[in-house]
Amino acid sequence: MKNLKLKAARTMKDMSQEDLAKTVGVSRQTISSIEKGDYNPTINLCISICRALDKTLDELFWE
């Protein structure tokens, strides 16, 4: 399932996939895969992404 909330939050912060990837310490392809729903990130990665985007886990990763 695509994570459109993640993509929207990243866009609102004016961050590219590459910017977010560097901030949280993963590859751009990992961020792309999460947004496309092809990769289920670890809870630690989810928390790092939330911190980078000033969002909660519920806001980005809960249906």
pLDDT reading at 1 higher than 90: no
Q: Which among 49, 55, 51, 52 is positioned nearest to 35, based on CA atoms? A: 49
Instruction: Let me know the angle formed at the C-alpha of 55 by 52 and 61, rounded to the nearest 5 degrees.
Output: 105
Neighbour-count burial for 38-47, b at 16+ CB within 10 Å, e otherwise: eeebeeebbe
pLDDT reading at 58 higher than 90: yes
> pLDDT tens for residues 11-40?
999 999 999 999 999 999 999 999 999 999
Band (pLDDT 50/70/90 cuts) for residue 46 is: very high
Q: Residue 52: count other Cβ atoms within 10 Å of its Cβ.
A: 18
Taken in order of first residue, the domains within the chain and their CATH numbers are 4-55 (1.10.260.40)
Which pLDDT does position 50 carry in this prediction?
98
